[in-house]
Amino acid sequence: MPASQQRRALTLVPLVAIVYHEVSGGPFGVETCVSAAGPFLTLVGFATFPLIWSVPEAIITAELCSLFPENSGYVAWSTAAFGRRVGWVQGALSWFSGVADNALYPVLLAAYAQNAAPELFDKDGYTRAAFVIAVTFALTAVNFRGIECVGIAAVVVAVVALVPFVAFCIVGIFHGSLSPSNWLLDRHGEPFELRAASFEDVRWRPYLSVLFWNLNYWDSVSTLAGEVSEPGKTFPRALSYALLLVYATYLLPLLVGIGVSAGSEEEISRWKEGYFASIAKELGGWALTSALLVASVASNAAQFITEMSSDSYQLAGMAERGMLPRIFAARSRYDTPYVGIIASASGILLLGFFDFTSVVDMLNLLYVGSIVVEFAAWLVLRRRHLRDEHSASVFRIKASTPVCVLMLTPAFFAMGLVTYFSSIITKIVLIVAILVALSLYEVQKWSVGVDNSAPDDDDDDDARPREASPLLRSSEGGGGGGGGGGDATATTSV
């Protein structure tokens, strides 16, 4: 068996768990939608948005991961479609967004812990800050232990996180206080009416930001494509199973939680980060609350380590394409890209003390800037490689270009809404991020150790799908073992 195949460590079940945690990990963090838009629009949003956003994004990810089975993921897609400059900028925006996303999980853990045991946190916020820093360091350490460790942890944590919510739903359904009429209320506790005033009253920015954040990042797993066994078969199945899991784990707890504790304007206003723990205390006392708190810790931890894996492997994949200095391709003794892990952890610590909604707003718009390029790249690459020699071995839905454009139209509309309702500061952040990315692209072209031989736009090697990521190739002629003299960029370790 080729060495590249021996190194492909991710199979179906771990990949499902990784995708699930990169996108969702459970209904933690969705509570803000209820207080911002009311129960009815929250349920409508989580029932319909996966169909117009998550399904197209999952299809694109499945197709292009099987066409480009390498760790640069979406960077490879946009580079192949539009050239190195666009690929580099798109990769930078994705990485910025991913790091900002990862900064939220220690914050959410702190929110759930503070909600469950407020007496442990001081009023000045020092305890919370220490908690966030400690969690960041502890979870970063897990990523150093290798992708197999991440995959196993994701599977275990998925079970740990889901079981308490299954219990939450069962107890809530048979609890005497569940009222289905709550599902039809607006944010003031009145029956929702289809009139202009009902929509004008919605706090659209937090509602759309949190809704979008909880249902995106299906493409994050593409930066692990070089680690996946049989990507043409594994990715479509893993993404399909994860999509069903995400759909269920948002809607069912929301239906129960809203039915139990959203019958008045006062109750609806309490829906903030961590509020599921308060509902659990009402339904099942400290036993259910403790179980939900454990689930929160486990789920947010898994989302952190899976997102950090994607971010760090993305930088490694870009280094292998000559788009970053070679040091980013270096591997630790656990075969992990340690420089990318350190870079990601540094960004997380920087953003970990910002307001939750502000960070969500910022990362969403950065993600929109990135995903627009991905969607366009998908349309270009489908036409370019439809009759390519690789096409027979990759996953592809049977749909013409007009049908694909039609499928993406609601998604583009959703991105337009997110952009429109984002703050001026967030829009400025996006513009600055693009300018910084363009500047860094020019800098890295002249950096020591970066391949400058390829032109910005029409490099034949960049435009072709690769059979496997160079990160997966062991030293040629080394004979397997630990000391052979192969490619230094693929075997550097600490």
Average per-residue pLDDT for the chain: 82
Token readout for 472 is 């997966």
Tally the C-alpha atoms within 13 A of residue 484's C-alpha that lie toward its C-beta.
12
The pLDDT value recorded for residue 452 is 44
Q: Is residue 123 part of a domain?
A: yes
pLDDT at residue 374, rounded to an integer: 94
d(C-alpha 267, C-alpha 280), whole Å:
14
The amino acid at residue 493 is S
Query: Rounded CA gap, 305 and 140, in Å?
Result: 7
- d(C-alpha 260, C-alpha 318), whole Å: 48
Q: Using CA atoms, how far apart are residues 119 and 169, in angstroms rounded to an integer? A: 28
Whether residue 410 lies inside any domain: the answer is yes
The pLDDT, as a whole number, for residue 392 is 56
Dist CA 476 CA 474 (whole Å)? 6
Q: Is 217 left (phi over 0), alpha (psi -120 to 50) or beta?
A: left
The answer to whether the CB of 69 falls within 8 A of the CB of 229 is no
What gap in Å lies between CA 50 and CA 251, rounded to an integer?
11
Name 191's bridge partners.
185
Whole-angstrom Cα distance, residue 315 to residue 341?
9
- Residue 336 forms part of a structural domain: yes
% of residues, the chain, pLDDT over 90 = 35
Amino acid 51: pLDDT: 94
Q: How far apart are alpha carbons 136 and 405 in whole angstroms?
A: 40
Q: How many CA atoms lie within 13 A of 378 on its CB side?
A: 29
What is the Cα 158 distance to its own chain's centre?
A: 15
Retrieve residue 203's tokens.
């706090």
Nearest to 19 by CA among 317, 241, 345: 241
Q: Is residue 315 part of a domain?
A: yes
Whether 349 is covered by a domain: the verdict is yes
Q: How far apart are CA 222 and CA 314, in angstroms?
A: 9
pTM of this prediction?
0.80
Half-sphere exposure of 142 (CA within 13 A, CB side): 20
pLDDT of residue 106: 86
* Residue/partner pairs of 430-439 with CB below 8 Å, 24 or more apart: 430/365, 430/366, 430/368, 430/369, 433/92, 433/93, 433/96, 433/366, 433/369, 434/89, 434/93, 434/369, 436/92, 437/88, 437/89, 437/92, 437/93, 438/85, 438/89
Least Cα distance to 415 among 238, 219, 262, 211 occurs for: 211
Low-confidence ranges of the chain (pLDDT < 70): 1-9, 116, 124, 146-148, 386-393, 446-494
Q: Please report whether residue 260 resides in a domain.
A: yes
Residue range 140-175, pLDDT digits in tens = 888 887 666 777 778 888 888 889 999 999 999 988
Q: What is the pLDDT of residue 447?
A: 63
407: in domain: yes
Structurally, the chain folds into a number of domains equal to 1
> CATH number of the domain that 96 lies in?
1.20.1740.10
Domain for residue 479, yes or no?
A: no
Q: What is the pLDDT of residue 466?
A: 53
96: containing domain: 3-464
Token readout for 396 is: 């592809």
3-state secondary structure the chain: CCHHHHCCCECHHHHHHHHHHHHCCCCCCCHHHHHHHCHHHHHHHHHHHHHHHHHHHHHHHHHHHHHCCCCCCHHHHHHHHHCHHHHHHHHHHHHHHHHHHHHHHHHHHHHHHHHHCHHHCCCCCHHHHHHHHHHHHHHHHHHCCCHHHHHHHHHHHHHHHHHHHHHHHHHHHCCCCCCHHHHHECCCCCECCCCHHHHHCCCHHHHHHHHHHHCCCHHHHHHHHHHECCHHHHHHHHHHHHHHHHHHHHHHHHHHHHHHHCCCHHHHHCCCCCHHHHHHHHHHHHHHHHHHHHHHHHHHHHHHHHHHHHHHHHHHHHHHCCCCCHHHHCCCCCCCCHHHHHHHHHHHHHHCCCCHHHHHHHHHHHHHHHHHHHHHHHHHHHHHCCCCCCHHHCCCCCCCHHHHHHHHHHHHHHHHHHHHHCCHHHHHHHHHHHHHHHHHHHHHHCCCCCCCCCCCCCCHHHHCCCCCCHHHCCCCCCCCCCCCCCCHHHHCCC
Nearest CA to 252 out of 15, 24, 19 is that of 24
